[in-house]
């Protein structure tokens, strides 16, 4: 084969097989990512037949990592993270610790070194943001409170992983089995100090200069009216910053691209930047997963099946149970705990990056990488089943465990209105479910009009904030009849469901009508199909965002034209 065709052949084989196996995976109700990994196994050196160029695939994977992390940065909202910080931050840290101890302990039992056990355990603690976002999008839960907790949790995990990627190279002399000399240790600590100094300089530069330069640059390019230039600007910034950060500051491509995305998010055009870069981001992300699959040795499934099962058990059950316990301990509903637990029951891109780095630095043996890849493929393939099991598991646990029912109705002071609440505010009032972007505006208007209302919200931090402002608010899942009872729905004049999480809408409507047959119900929806279904069931008055926006714009246009005398 002519040398100049190697790149084209690698891309063509990688994308072509990824499409075929990704389509097969989708038809089998599995994430397409499983198909991409299988495509990599097929063109890898361990399965015979055609073998793609490993060196080129590795470089293409680096571009995939840059664009993946750029996308994570573009979607990283400090505001959303702060909303769930009291559960996401401690929860992620504790869960990473538990998973790392389980994985590291298993590696120690196998006789691995401390460094290998540490990297192995950390690799098993990192769930895939890509898999999670796709799973939540499919189920319409991305904007729900449970979805925001899960995403915030994974953002914290991603930040920890980025920090580990930065610190691992200078720590290698201390963690690698051959690095036992005091001189190597002293050099390692010096390297860590230098690395942290460079990272600090890079972060300060991006926060001080980048957050001003990138939004302004996007605005200047957008004013040219050229879509190609705008897309080129976004991609060039992502890859350029990643490359410059590695060359000038010695930090990873991943960290540079992540900060480039974060700075882009400061712009009002960030949504357009995310949309325009998505096709290229998807394509190179596919090549990244294909290149990861090329590293997998299928014989590990035959030679060490028990080790593979142990890894899968830690990923799918150890992490999940730890996360569920943490969420329940923070007094969140069982449904929230099961959703977060299912979200973490897989490992993905950061696990691959950590494993590859650990092997390249001599800290971990290639066998560990194959075990991690096997655990990832199996856990990602089974992750949809974990989500599908949430509702049955919730019903089964509640029906058989009095302890679970007590946890769900724990003596949370925010789960009930204070005894001194003015009873005149609890007759004919509005019960407002959800205090997000829509619900908060409704509450503000009701307060201005002096219309009494009670907010029902799953986010305990928001309930604390509302009570501090003197509003009546109850913490809990409005799909639970006990929570609506605490909102005094039996004496309410209207129920307003303003939450984007529409999974339990029918249950809310059914319970409210059973307790208060004359109650008026107003429901927010996101799709024509759901709106039509709710109308057929006569659930209440239905409002859909796009429809109401069109009506409002049309009303403004007609009124403006009438004032001008019309055509």
- pLDDT tier for residue 501 given thresholds of 50, 70 and 90: low
- pLDDT tier for residue 311 given thresholds of 50, 70 and 90: very high
- Pair (351, 485) in one structural domain: no
405: alpha, beta or left? (left if phi > 0; alpha if psi -120 to 50): alpha
433 falls within a domain: yes
- Pair (373, 424) in one structural domain: no
- Pair (319, 450) in one structural domain: no
- Domain of 393: which CATH number? 1.20.1530.20
- Pair (138, 272) in one structural domain: yes
Token code pair at residue 264: 């882009």
410 falls within a domain: no
Of 288, 257, 483, 507, residue with least CA distance to 376 = 288
Q: Could you read off the pLDDT of 432-483 as tens digits, one per residue?
A: 988 887 888 899 999 988 899 999 987 777 888 888 888 888 887 777 777 8
Which structural domain, as residue segments, surrounds residue 293? 3-397
Share of the chain above pLDDT 90, in %: 10
- Pair (377, 498) in one structural domain: no
Task: Answer with the residue of higher pLDDT: 474 or 167.
Answer: 474
413 falls within a domain: no
- Pair (135, 239) in one structural domain: yes
pLDDT of res. 3: 52
- Domain of 480: which CATH number? 3.40.50.720
The answer to whether 50 touches 13, Cβ cutoff 8 Å, is yes
515 falls within a domain: yes
- Pair (254, 211) in one structural domain: yes
pLDDT (average), residues 28-45: 84
Of 397, 412, 442, the domain-final residue: 397
204 falls within a domain: yes
- pLDDT tier for residue 183 given thresholds of 50, 70 and 90: very low
- Of 20-29, 182-191, 339-348, the range with the lowest mean pLDDT is 182-191
- Pair (318, 429) in one structural domain: no
Q: Could you read off the pLDDT of 547-557 as tens digits, one per residue?
A: 777 888 888 88
pLDDT of res. 503: 59
- pLDDT tier for residue 191 given thresholds of 50, 70 and 90: low
Identify which of 74-78, 345-349, 405-409, 457-461 has the greatest average pLDDT.
345-349
Q: Could you read off the pLDDT of 64-117 as tens digits, one per residue?
A: 778 877 877 776 666 666 767 778 888 888 999 999 999 999 999 999 999 899
Neighbour tally for 551: CB within 10 Å: 11
Give the count of domains, the chain.
Answer: 2
- Pair (341, 452) in one structural domain: no
Of 397, 412, 447, the domain-final residue: 397
Neighbour tally for 86: CB within 10 Å: 14
264 falls within a domain: yes
Kindly give the pairing relationship between strand 472-475 and strand 494-497: unpaired
Of 397, 412, 431, the domain-final residue: 397
- Pair (237, 373) in one structural domain: yes
Residue 416 has pLDDT above 80, yes or no: no
The answer to whether 371 touches 140, Cβ cutoff 8 Å, is no
Q: Could you read off the pLDDT of 241-282 as tens digits, one per residue?
A: 888 887 887 777 777 887 788 777 777 777 777 777 777 777
SS3 state at 453: strand
- pLDDT tier for residue 184 given thresholds of 50, 70 and 90: very low
- pLDDT tier for residue 129 given thresholds of 50, 70 and 90: confident
- Pair (328, 455) in one structural domain: no
Residue 182 has pLDDT above 50, yes or no: no
The residues, ordered by sequence, that sit 6+ positions from 480 with a Cβ below 8 Å of its Cβ are: 333, 408
- Pair (391, 451) in one structural domain: no
SS3 annotation, 344-399:
CCCCCHHHHHHHHHHHHCCCCCHHHHHHHHHHHHHHHHHHHHHHHCHHHHHHHHHH
Model pTM score: 0.68
């Amino acid at each position: 084969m002519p040398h100049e065709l190697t790149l084209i052949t690698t891309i063509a084989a990688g994308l072509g097989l990824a499409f075929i196996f990704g389509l097969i995976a989708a038809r089998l109700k599995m994430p397409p990512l499983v198909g991409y990994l299988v495509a990599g196994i097929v063109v890898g050196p361990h399965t015979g037949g055609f073998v793609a160029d490993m060196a080129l695939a590795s470089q293409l994977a680096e571009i995939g990592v840059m664009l993946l992390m750029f996308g994570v940065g573009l979607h990283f909202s400090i505001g959303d993270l702060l909303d769930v910080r009291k559960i996401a931050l401690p929860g992620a840290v504790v869960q990473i610790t538990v998973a790392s101890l389980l994985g590291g302990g298993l590696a120690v039992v196998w006789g691995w070194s401390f460094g290998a056990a540490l990297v192995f355990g950390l690799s098993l603690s990192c769930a895939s943001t890509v898999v999670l976002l796709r799973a939540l999008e499919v189920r319409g839960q991305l904007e729900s409170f449970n979805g925001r907790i899960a995403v915030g949790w994974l953002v914290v995990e991603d930040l920890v992983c980025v920090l580990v990627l930065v610190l691992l190279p200078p720590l290698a002399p201390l963690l690698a089995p051959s690095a036992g000399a005091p001189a190597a240790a002293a050099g390692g600590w010096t390297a860590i100090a230098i690395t942290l100094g460079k990272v600090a300089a890079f972060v300060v530069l991006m926060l001080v200069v980048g957050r001003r330069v990138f939004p302004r640059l996007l605005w200047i390019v957008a004013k040219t009216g050229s879509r190609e230039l705008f897309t080129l600007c976004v991609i060039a910034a992502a890859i350029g910053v990643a490359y410059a950060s590695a060359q000038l500051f010695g930090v990873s491509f991943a960290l540079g691209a992540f900060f480039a995305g974060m700075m882009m998010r400061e712009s009002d055009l960030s949504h357009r930047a995310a949309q325009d870069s998505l096709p290229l981001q998807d394509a190179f992300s596919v090549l990244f997963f294909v290149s990861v699959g090329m590293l997998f040795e299928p014989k590990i499934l035959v030679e060490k099946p028990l080790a593979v099962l142990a890894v899968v058990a830690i990923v799918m059950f150890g992490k999940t149970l730890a996360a569920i316990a943490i969420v329940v301990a923070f007094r969140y509903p069982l449904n929230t705990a099961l959703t977060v637990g299912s979200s973490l029951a897989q490992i993905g891109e950061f696990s691959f990056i950590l494993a590859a780095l650990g092997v390249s630095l001599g800290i971990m043996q290639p066998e560990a990488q194959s075990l991690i890849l096997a655990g990832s493929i199996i856990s990602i393939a089974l992750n949809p089943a974990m989500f599908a099991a949430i509702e049955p598991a919730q019903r089964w646990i509640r029906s058989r465990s009095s302890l679970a029912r007590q946890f769900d109705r724990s003596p949370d002071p925010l789960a009930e209105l204070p005894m001194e609440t003015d009873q005149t505010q609890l007759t004919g009032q509005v019960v407002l479910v959800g205090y997000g972007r829509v619900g908060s505006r409704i509450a503000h208007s009701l307060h201005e009009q002096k219309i009494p209302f009670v907010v029902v919200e799953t986010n305990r931090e928001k309930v604390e904030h509302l009570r501090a402002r003197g509003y009546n608010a109850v913490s809990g899942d409005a799909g639970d009849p006990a929570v609506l009872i605490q909102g005094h729905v039996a004496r309410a004049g209207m129920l307003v469901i303003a939450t984007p999480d529409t999974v339990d809408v029918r249950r809310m409507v059914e319970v409210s009508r059973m307790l208060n047959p004359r109650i008026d119900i107003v429901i927010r929806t996101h799709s024509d199909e759901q709106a039509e279904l709710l109308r057929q069931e006569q659930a209440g008055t239905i409002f859909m965002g796009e429809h109401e926006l069109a009506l409002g714009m049309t009303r403004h246009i007609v009124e403006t034209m009438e004032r001008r005398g019309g055509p």
